[in-house]
Amino acid sequence: MARRRVPNFCFEYVEGGSEDEATLRRNREVFSNIAFQPRTLVDVTVRNQRRRLLGEEIASPFLIGPTGFSGLLSSEGDVSMARAAASAGIPFVLSNVSTTSLEDVVRRAGADARVWMQVYMYRTREFVEKIARRAQDAGIGTLVLTTDSAIYGKREWDVRNFSGPLSLNWRNKIDVIRHPRWIFDILFPHGFPHFANVGDLLPPGQTSVRGAASSMIGQSLDPSLCWRDVEWLRDIWPGKLVIKGVMNAQDAVRAISVGADGIVLSNHGGRQLDGALSTMDVLPEVVAEVQGRLAVMLDGGFRRGSDIVKAVALGADAVLVGRATTYGLAAGGQAGAGRAIEILRSEIDRVLGLMGCPDLSQVDQSYLRAI
Ligand code: FNR
C-alpha cells in the first residue's frame, strides 16, 4: 500500500539501501539460516511477550526505531508514530531529523507515550548539548546517539531521483502529479516538510527538507566522532544513554566502560556501509561478551514476528523496527503504523504458541538451529 500511496522518490528513499544493497538483502536473508526447533505438548493457553527494557516494562519485545523525514509520508508523521507506539505500549524513538519538533511530539503524543530521542553528533557541540537539554526539559528519559552516519552512505536511489541538489528530476515530477492524494494531504496544506529539531544549524527560513538544508545538515555532522565524545555526552546527559550503530563485541564492551545503558546493533538498515554483516550475525558474540551488563538491542530487516523471536532467543533485549512501521505510516498514517505493530505483535504471539514456549522470557537458543 505504501508503494501506491506516496510518490516514487519518497518510497524509494524508505525502501532503498546503499550501493549494491548487499547488506540490505543480508538483513533479510539471515533469518532463513536460522530455524525453529519447537517443543510439543506444552500448555500454551496463556502467552506472554511483555518484557523489561532499561527498567521499564514494554508490552512487546520491540520499539519503533528512528526514521527521518516522516512528514514526507504522512502529514502528521512523527506524532502518528508516537501515538501508534503509545497505544501498543512500546517506546518510539524520534529521529533527530524529524519533521515535527521533539516538544510537539511529546506534547501531542499523549500521557502514555514513551518517546526516546535520537541524536547525531554535530561539529558544534553546543548544538548537541542544546538538543539534550530540550529533550530533558520535555521529559524525555532516553537519548540514542547514532554513531554510524557521520559519513553518509551512497544511496543510489536518492541520487537518481534528484536531478540537482534535492531538485526532483522530470520522471519524479510527473510521478508526483500522479499522486494527487499526497499533494492534497501533504504538499498543499503543509508544503515540503521542514527540519523541526535542527533549525539552529540552518539559516533562518531555509529549513525545508527540499532546500539546501539536507546537505547543510550532512556537512554539520562530525566525522571526528569518537569515544571521547560519547564520554562527553555521558557527562552532560543525566538520563539513559544508548549507542546505536555498534557492530562489534569490542565496541559493545567499550560502551559499557563509558557508561552507556544500552546499545543498538545496527547497520542502519543497509543504508550505510554496504557489504557489512547483518546484526543477527554479530548478536551472539556481543551477547556473550556483554554478559547482561547493558541492554542489547538490534535492528535491520525485522519484518515478521518470527524474526523478533529469533533475536530474543539469541539473547537480545529488544528489537527496533524501521521500515515495517514506516511502510505502515505511509500506507495509512497512525492507523497504518498501528496495524504494522499489531501484525508483528500477533505474529510473535502465534510463534510462541506454535513453538511450545508460551513465555517469551523462556525462549533461548535451545529453540533454534542454525541451518
Ligand atoms: C532510517 N534510519 C535512521 N536512523 C537514525 O538513527 N536516524 C535517522 O534519522 C534515521 N532515518 C531513517 C530513515 C529511513 C527512511 C530508514 C528506512 C531508516 C535507520 C533506522 O533507525 C534503522 O536503523 C533501520 O531502519 C533498521 O532497519 P529496517 O527495520 O528498516 O530494516
- 83-97 pLDDT, tens digit per residue, is 999 999 999 999 999
The torsion defined by the Cα of 347, 349, 350 and 355, in degrees rounded to 10, comes to: 120
pLDDT at residue 166, rounded to an integer: 66
Q: Is the ipTM of this complex over 0.85?
A: yes
Closest among 323, 343, 244 to 73, alpha carbons compared: 323
Ligand 1 pocket residue status of 67, Cβ below 6 Å: yes
Q: How far is the CA of 298 from the centre of ligand 1 (A)?
A: 12
Is this structure's pTM higher than 0.95? yes
Atom of ligand 1 nearest to the CA of 66: 21
Ligand 1 pocket residue status of 321, Cβ below 6 Å: yes
pLDDT > 70: percent of the chain: 99
* Residues sharing a CB contact under 8 Å with residue 167, sequence separation 6 or more, in sequence order: none
Average pLDDT of the chain, as a whole number: 95
Question: Can you tell me whether residue 11 is helix, strand or coil?
Answer: helix
Does residue 165 have a pLDDT over 70? no
Distance in angstroms (rounded) separating the CA atoms of residues 142 and 236 = 13
pLDDT digits (tens, 9 = 90+) for 9-63: 999 999 999 999 999 999 999 999 999 999 999 999 999 999 999 999 999 999 9
Q: How far is CA 50 from CA 68, 111, 261, 307, 365, in A?
A: 28, 20, 20, 17, 19
CA atoms within 13 A on the CB side of 223: 5
Residue 268 is a catalytic residue: yes
Question: All domains of the chain, ordered by start, with CATH?
Answer: 2-370 (3.20.20.70)
Atom of ligand 1 nearest to the CA of 15: 17
Tell me which of 180 and 163 has the higher pLDDT: 180
Q: Write down how long the chain is.
A: 371
Tell me which of 12 and 159 has the higher pLDDT: 12
